[in-house]
Chains A and B, each alone.
Chain A
Amino acid sequence: MQIYLPIAEMSVNAFLLLGLGGIVGILSGMFGVGGGFLMTPLLFFIGIPPAVAVGTEANQIVGSSVSGFLAHFKRKNVDIKMGLVLLVGGLVGAAIGIQIFALLREIGQVDLLVKLSYVIFLGIIGGLMFFESLRAIIRSKANHVRATRKKHGWIYALPFKSKFRKSGLYISVLPPLAVGFFVGILSAIMGVGGGFIMVPAMIYLLGMPTKVVVGTSLFQIIFVTAFTTIMHATTNFTVDMALAFLLLVGGVLGAQIGTRIGLKLKAEQLRILLSLIVIAVCLKIAGDLVLQPSDLFSLDKGLSH
């Protein structure tokens, strides 16, 4: 069944969109990532204009994150206070990210920026997570002792300390503010929720327990992507409601299934799985940048100087 997308101005098979939403939704629920880092490149691939893909994806992530967040909230796996600190940083970052996006769109390098960002961040994060998880699994098998995470001294030396009871932490608000800010920028320019950066940063940098990390990151993602959606809708007119809705219907169902699968897996297994997916996406995009494209030319519409 074909459906005409009013903002993207093209006709797409509705079942294809539902299916894409569903698959990405399952991963979203399992890992607590918005799924944007998978969905946005997939939307490019089926021919959605990049600007519409980025704007619409922000909208879709809002919905899929709410669904995942509620599942975690009921299990009391959310540190609301930490989430609010991350959110403040995130809103500032997103506002700046929108400006960077508009600027690079003007000079025709937004594609390159988006793809390079994917390769760099996915490569680093995926690699780190993979080896860390592998080590943790080997260690736990060898000693039958749970690996304890290293505490980073310098983070505890920073001022403006606050107690985050749910996470069992007493740390400065500066690192979570910075993490939120950084993720906010990425949210706006990459069409992602930023979970793939935030989840590892919360585990390795802030030292939060894996259990609360997923729900807390979803909490921040909901509000940052809602803000990004409204910014894209009012400045670029690139949010396609119909496209977002179809991806969502598949996505929210997938997220519910994913959350249940995630609860059955061990934290280390979850992380190693996520790292493999992250690395695969990274290699695919890196390949696109390094190999000679099949068509050297591309068209850009409606940008005036």
Chain B
Amino acid sequence: MIIVFFYFATRSIHAEELVAELSKDEVAITANFNGSDIFIYGAVKRDLAILPADKSEGPLEVVITVSGPLEKLQVRKKAKKTVIWMNSKTLEVDAAPSFYAVAATGNVTNIISETEDLRHKISIRKAIRSVGNPETIQDVNQFIDALIRIRQEQNLYQDLNNSVSLKDATLFTTDVTLPSNLVEGQYQIRIFLIRGGSIIDYFSTEVSINRVGIERFIYDLAHKSPLIYGLLSVFIAISAGWGASAAFRYIRL
């Protein structure tokens, strides 16, 4: 796996800058893909020692987010109609990340101010965009909570509080485990350097997660030539059925 070194120019007036690196910049979904780990690490670069003014703003904190491609979703809630439980209300979610992990040196909601969270959509809650919902749904939050809970159960959303280790306010590392049920695409990785609830530096990069080999071939055929794919599926099924029948006849003789 190629290791790419990321270097970036500071956009902050502060004297603290981020330098970060990933263990891999691409993940291949193969036939026996069973999840993957991404190791994210880096350092805080300073021209001078930590200034007392900086210290007074609070301790240095690091928040790292990994976000999969955004997708449109429907969250449905069942209700009892006479004797049967059926879907009765639907919340349309305009854009929810297919995967989202947020790792931090502490508790994300304590580390970062509400304004910064809203602006940069850092916590899981803020990363989900849902606007223009029908008036029939009074409690939108309940639906969003359910979405987060279901995805957390599938390890697709991960709240990784206290999982970034920061040494001497300089070196930081974290490990994010990608589950096997991933959607392919560009995964955005963002690293925030925070003091006193405000972001003092920010760095972003991407990891591309793609199918390769037979997985690539099947997926492309299914979407680009669906008729051929359908016919091929039927042909394989008939061959397998006939083959088994012939094999069994041979064994019996």
Contact = CB atoms under 8 A, between A and B. Distances in A.
Q: Note whether A and B form a binding pair.
A: yes
Interface of A: 1-4, 6-7, 9-11, 59-60, 62-71, 108-109, 111-112, 116, 222, 226, 229-234, 237, 239, 241-242, 244-245, 248-249, 252-253, 255-256, 289-293, 295-305
27 contacts: A4-B30, A4-B32, A4-B215, A6-B219, A9-B183, A10-B180, A62-B237, A63-B238, A63-B241, A70-B245, A71-B245, A112-B87, A230-B227, A230-B233, A233-B229, A237-B223, A237-B226, A239-B230, A290-B84, A296-B78, A297-B147, A299-B76, A299-B147, A301-B74, A303-B72, A304-B72, A305-B92
Given A292-B80, A300-B73, A60 B237 contact: yes
Nearest to B35: A11
Interface residues of B, number: 60
Nearest to B220: A6
Contacts of B182: 9
B244 A253 contact: yes
A62 B234 contact: yes
B85 A245 contact: no
Report the 8 A-B pairs with minimum CB-CB distance, sorted nearest first: A66-B241, A233-B230, A11-B180, A63-B237, A252-B244, A297-B146, A230-B230, A67-B241
Contacts of A4: 29-34, 180, 215
A302 B223 CA distance: 15
A239 B233 contact: yes
B250 to A, nearest CB: 12
A233 B226 contact: yes
Interface of B: 29-35, 71-80, 83-87, 90, 92, 143, 146-147, 149-151, 180-184, 211, 214-215, 218-219, 222-223, 226-227, 229-234, 236-238, 240-245, 248
Contacts of A253: 244
B78 A248 contact: no
A59 B150 contact: no
Contacts of A302: 71-73
B76 A289 contact: no
A101 B123 CA distance: 37
